[in-house]
Amino acid sequence: MHNFIFFCFVLVLCVPHSLSDLAADRQALLSLRSALGGRTFRWNVTQSTPCSWAGVRCEQNRVAVLRLPGVSLTGQLPTGVFSNLTKLRTLSLRLNALTGQLPSDLAACTSLRNLYLQGNILSGEIPDFLFSIQSLVRLNLGENNFTGGISESFNNFTRLRTLFLENNQLSGSVPDLKLEKLEQFNVSNNLLNGSIPERLQSFESTSFLGNSLCGQPLDACAGSSGSGAVVVPSTPRIVNQGKKKKLSGGAIAGIVIGSVLGFFLIVLVLMFLCRKKSSQKSRSMDIASIKQHELEIPGEKTMADVGNGLGTGNGFSVAAAAAAAMVGNGKGGELNGAGAKKLVFFGKASKVFDLEDLLRASAEVLGKGTFGTAYKAVLEIGTVVAVKRLRDVTVSESEFKEKIEMVGAMDQENLVPLRAYYYSRDEKLLVYDYMPTGSLSALLHGNKGAGRTPLNWEIRSGIALGAARGIQYLHSQGPNISHGNIKSSNVLLTQYYDARVSDFGLAQIVGPSSSPNRATGYRAPEVTDPRKVSQKADVYSFGVLLLELLTGKAPTHALLNEEGVDLPRWVQSIVREEWTSEVFDLELLRYQNVEEEMVQLLQLGIDCAAQYPDTRPSMSHVTRRIEELCQSSRRDPQPEVLNIIDDDSSR
């Protein structure tokens, strides 16, 4: 009884204090909101707790995370706000238009681990009070107007793993930073000079370009003495000339000659491009004329050889290869003398064209995949189909037909339907419905320019759900049936962004490619033979696909020197460091009211990409979870993008 009374007494003392702290946090956030102008963030100020406000996250009844990236905030960060947000662990105000110096009371946030202020117009020297926040793990002050030197006090950040100071106006030398945990470092495009300290020479050259720095990984310093060494600028961004000098006659003559040579070089390049374009056009001409020309000289062995050599980069590869093969023994209706062949259609597929129609179609190369080359074929009647020309088929004709019949029998709205196939000794063609929007891979990593349409949460979650349903259907056909090659380039999209899974069932009929397999980044660690992929391995690949969909990053391809990351490992490292928001594609950060659903889908992707197969969920469970997340986000409809002008400009 005594213990119970004591517990109640402590509870009475603690609860009001906790509520008082949260009330102070709320008031601090409102003060920040009032101080900053422009297109402000949307908060429902009628709520007594700020924990449900967009960009705000609470832990233990205190504001722990404040993320307002890219919402067009303007003005200067006020002093007196952050002294109340003492439990703040993550502060992200990047990609806004904030000006002035950092407020001194930011030093009160002693628990701060992640500070992201890049992409603003902040100025002044990096203040000394910042170095008192020794808990910092990630610090990004890039793309501002900070001046002055880089202080040796950065060594106070013993836990620091990321330090980005690029694209400022920092001057002086780079100090010898003794940060043992530092993983990411960038001071490019400043006004720095001198030699790069030995401890920092392990970072890439891009971390130092745009300064007057020398030493590894840049060019060696011209001279042996330390600070007095003559330095060769590394791609300096500012060139000052004290006095204008007149050009000599030789220099003028050199400029004239160089200009003339440059002009002729440009003309030659243009002529080459025009001829190449003309050649490509001639290659994509009507296949009927090519076939007719070839059939006029029956018995020419070289024509059959041509068929075997096509398909590597011209417009008419599919049809021309088949047409050339048809003259193998001078028999117009046979493919390499293998007997009369025709397209074999499946089920309810409309037989509105035949092999002859396909041969006459104009074709366009869509891309080369793991199992062969894909083409867009436009028939004379206007029908558009996708044709895949398989390579390295390792099974017999009877086994091929048996397995491809199983593929053709698959009927589900989230699978790309196989309409017909063609088999001969030298040619194996598959005819699919054409998906006009292309692949998810192209959508995520293709056009990054100004004309790109941002992919919102609704589109991405819908793609995830459609792909999951397609794979779940495949797994439901039997315990030994799997896809075997799940990746973003095999998720195709209709004009309404509905997902359709392609290339299913082909892993069992096509041998390992001699070229590097681009699916390596999606492959489960236990898979040693790409022709033998379990359903749990499919789940792993789908998990990587989910992470790619949410982060916008392509997974590492281990066999090629391409840009990418080991997505499962990278995402898990970020989540462990408690800066989860930084993992998401910038295009998704606009939709903060579905942040919880985004985090849950991210966790689902991590679960799917677990190291051990037994710990991965089934595709039926995965599909059910995505359906729940999509329903949840529909119940809480997305507001318009956060950078919309608030009706009440006084707040």
SS3 152: helix
- Spell out the residues 6+ positions from residue 637 whose beta carbon is closer than 8 angstroms to its own: none
* Strands 62-67 and 90-92, bridge-based pairing: parallel
Bridge-based pairing state of the strands 97-100 and 121-125: parallel
497: left (phi over 0), alpha (psi -120 to 50) or beta: left
377 neighbors 358 (Cβ within 8 angstroms):
yes
DSSP line for 183-234: -EEE--SSEEEEEPPGGGTTS-GGGT-SBEEESTTSPPPBSSSSTT-B---B
Closest CA to 430 of 314, 532, 318: 318
> Quick one: 596 exposed, middle or buried, by C-beta within 10 A (0-12, 13-18, 19+)?
middle
What is the number of other CB atoms lying within 10 angstroms of the CB of residue 209? 20
Q: What is the DSSP code string of 305-319?
A: HHHHH--SS-TTHHH
> Computed over its alpha carbons, how large is the radius of gyration of the chain?
31
Cβ-contact 20, 86 below 8 angstroms: no
List the structure tokens of 380: 């004379």
Cα 327 from chain centre: 46
Show the CA angle centred on residue 44, arms to residues 39 and 48, nearest 5°: 140
Residue (of 55, 71, 52, 159) closest to 119 by Cα position: 71
Which string of DSSP letters, residue by residue, matches 55-110?
TEEEETTEEEEEE-TTS-EEEEPPTTSTTT-TT--EEE--SSEEEEPPPGGGGG-T
Q: Which residues partner with 421 through β-bridges?
A: 344, 430
**CA dist., res. 548 & res. 564, Å (int):** 10
Assess contact for 484 and 506: CB atoms under 8 A.
yes
Residue 614: strand, helix, or coil: helix
User: Distance between CA atoms of 397 and 541, rounded to whole angstroms?
Assistant: 30
Q: What are the structure tokens assigned to 469, written together?
A: 């349903």
Q: Is 291 annotated as a binding residue?
A: no
In 452-594, which ranges are continuous DSSP H helix? 457-476, 535-551, 567-576
C-alpha separations of 244 from 235, 251, 269, 628 in Å: 22, 15, 36, 70
* β-bridge mates for residue 385, sequence order: 377, 433
Indicate the SS3 state at residue 340.
Answer: strand
State how far the Cα of 299 lies from the Cα of 331, in Å rounded to an integer: 9
**Core vs surface per residue 470-501: b (16+ CB within 10 A) or e:** bbbbbbeeeeebbbbbbbbbbbbbeeebbbbb
Three-state SS for 38? strand
Contacts of 198 (CB under 8 A, 6+ apart): 176
Numbered residues of the known binding site: 388
Q: Residues marked as binding for ATP?
A: 388
